[in-house]
Amino acid sequence: MGVLDGLFRRRERSSDIARERLLTVLVHDRVKLTPELLEQLKAELSAVIARYVPTVDPDTIEVTLFRGELIDHLKAEFPLRRQR
Amino acid sequence: MSRVITITSGKGGVGKTTSTANLGTALAMQGAKVAVVDADIGLRNLDVVMGLENRIVYDLVDVVEGRCRLRQALIKDKHFSDLFLLPAAQTRDKDAVGPEDMIALANQLRTEFDYVIIDSPAGIEGGFRNAIAGADEVLIITTPEVSAVRDADRIIGLVEAAGKGSPQLIINRIKPRMVNRGDMMSTDDVLQILAIDLIGAIPDDETIVTSTNRGEVAVLDRTSRAGRAFSDVARRIAGEQVPMPTLEDEQGVFDKLFGMLARRPRGSER
Ligand SMILES: Nc1ncnc2c1ncn2[C@@H]1O[C@H](COP(=O)(O)OP(=O)(O)OP(=O)(O)O)[C@@H](O)[C@H]1O
Ligand SMILES: [Mg+2]
């Protein structure tokens, strides 16, 4: 990063960064979903989805926990291989 | 009706012992009969913070194991005749007592005191469980830092799971200047994340260190901002409605004052 970048880029408030990081980490802490469990969840989900949608690519599945306004969400995305 | 209040935190070093000493003293200053209990067995500290280390003969474990009577182990404070310290054992470990012992002890103290304030060790293990076992209410201390707030969240869950209700929060070591610059989370930020009731916001203040050096507590020093904040917490504990000055605002007022002073010469020219 150039010196000018450092000079002109508005610094993000570190308190905001702290808050965002905490919110994310606490969603995970509270749900008690360890990285291993998350992997297991992905594997089982992909097996189920593949039974109905064979074009799902098990390696691209993404499962994320995130914090919403009022409730927290567990979001899963299943990208499909394009077919004609 | 007497109340047993445990002060705990999760993360170490955030101000549990400082809060116990100051709140205990402030409640005694209001005229209540108060016992402060050091439940950090093996890491005795409340005695030195209150300047009572030279008077210790017996300790909490001696009481639990029947080597002395409770009265013999209670040390009278230097300033207030209705304030007593029950010191922790220094040469034993946390397993020397169990939750039932602490419940029995709390109930015994309850018969003689208006308030029993228990200083918990850090962590989520035996020592913490002992410290909350006999409590009616729990106060959580945190600083406005990521690691401390995360640990506070964990502790809040454990306190609620232990059937102690929703604990109340003290945010300690706030640096208003940093908050104003956006470099420290504000009390509102922390409250939004932890979603429990706030009972106090204590500024980071050198008088905590200087008073602790002397074995005095900051609430005895009327010039100490942290001391005044702790006195306010004690009044809220006692049920008084004390407005919660946001420390950030205080800083804002200060800045405004400076702005006014800076403008005045021009204004008074005419
Ligand atoms: N508001 C404050 N301003 C400045 N210093 C403070 C403040 N509160 C606490 N401290 C300092 O922080 C240090 C830790 O405080 P204290 O011993 O009360 O924490 P603790 O939570 O009891 O720690 P432990 O987990 O080791 O028992 C001490 O040196 C104390 O003087
Ligand atoms: Mg301590």
Q: B48 vs chain A: nearest CA distance in angstroms?
A: 34
Q: Is residue A40 part of a domain?
A: yes
Residue A20, domain member (yes or no)? yes
- Does residue A22 sit within a domain? yes
Render B193-249 in DSSP notation, one character per residue.
HH-SEEEEEEE--HHHHHHHHHT--GGG-TT-HHHHHHHHHHHHHTT-------HHH
Give the mutation target among B25, B44, B208 for probing the ligand 1 site: most ligand atoms within 8 A of CB.
B208
Alpha carbon of A60: minimum distance to chain B alpha carbons (Å): 31
Q: How far is the CA of B95 from the centre of ligand 2 (A)?
A: 18
- Please indicate whether, in this complex, the C-beta atoms of A15 and B179 are within 8 angstroms of each other: yes
Mean pLDDT of all residues in B75-100: 94
Per-residue model confidence (pLDDT) at position B250: 56
Residues in chain B: 270
Q: Do B193 and A22 touch (CB under 8 A)?
A: yes
In this complex, is the C-beta atom of A69 within 8 Å of any C-beta atom belonging to chain B? no
A62: closest CA of chain B, how far (Å): 25
Task: Supply the ipTM of this predicted assembly.
Answer: 0.78
pLDDT at B255 > cutoff 80: no
Q: Is the pLDDT of residue B18 over 90?
A: yes
pLDDT at B44: 95
What per-residue confidence (pLDDT) applies to B253?
54
Go through the domains of chain B in sequence order and give each one's CATH number.
Answer: 3-269 (3.40.50.300)
Higher pLDDT, A74 or B238: B238
Give the model's confidence band at B270: pLDDT under 50 very low, under 70 low, under 90 confident, else very high.
very low
> Any idea which ligand is nearest the CA of B19?
1
In contact, B134 and B3? CB cutoff 8 Å: no
Domain count, chain A: 1
pLDDT band at B266 (very low <50, low <70, confident <90, very high): very low
Q: Quick check: B146 and A18 CB within 8 A?
A: yes
Answer whether residue A83 is part of any domain: no
Residue A46 lies in a domain: yes
B149 to chain A, any CB pair closer than 8 A? The answer is yes
Q: Is residue A82 in a domain?
A: no
Tell me the DSSP string of B115-147: EEEEEPPSSSSHHHHHHHHT-SEEEEEE-SSHH
Determine if ligand 1 sits within 6 Å of the CB of residue B202: yes
In whole angstroms, how far apart are CA B177 and each of B148, B181, B211?
Answer: 20, 6, 23
Whether B173 is in the pocket of ligand 1, judged by its Cβ within 6 Å, is: yes
Residue among B18, B145, B175 whose CB has most ligand 1 atoms within 8 A, to mutate: B18
Ligand 1: residue whose CA is nearest its atom 6: B208
- The arithmetic mean of pLDDT across residues B227-238, rounded, is 98
Contact A19 B179 (CB under 8 A): no
B116: left (phi over 0), alpha (psi -120 to 50) or beta: beta
CA B28 to CA B73: how far, in whole Å? 19
Question: Could you tell me which of B247, B239, B217 has the C-alpha nearest to residue B26?
Answer: B217
Residues of chain A in contact with residue B158, where contact means CB-CB under 8 angstroms, are none
Encode pLDDT of B19-39 as tens digits.
Answer: 999 999 999 999 999 999 999
Q: Kind of pairing, strands B34-38 and B3-8?
A: unpaired
State chain B's mean pLDDT as an integer: 92
Question: Which of B249 and B103 is assigned the larger pLDDT?
Answer: B103
Task: Report residue B267's pLDDT band, with 50, 70 and 90 as the boundaries.
Answer: very low
Quick check: CB of B234 below 6 Å from ligand 1? no
How many percent of chain B have pLDDT more than 70? Answer: 91
Could you give the residue ranges of the DSSP H alpha helices within B52-164?
Answer: 60-64, 70-73, 99-110, 126-133, 146-161
Tell which residue, A34, A18, A12, A73, has the closest CA to residue B149: A18
**Position B2 confidence tier, pLDDT thresholds 50, 70, 90:** very high
CA distance B187 to B185: 7
pTM (global) more than 0.90: no
- Per residue in B117-155, pLDDT (tens digit) is 999 999 999 999 999 999 999 999 999 999 999 999 999
**Domain span at A66:** 3-77
Task: Give the residue, by CA position, lying nearest to ligand 1 atom 23.
Answer: B13
pLDDT of residue B259 exceeding 90, the answer is: no
pLDDT tens across the length of chain A (84 residues): 455 555 555 668 999 999 989 988 888 888 887 888 888 988 899 889 989 988 888 888 888 887 776 788 888 888 888 876
What pLDDT shows up at residue A66?
A: 77
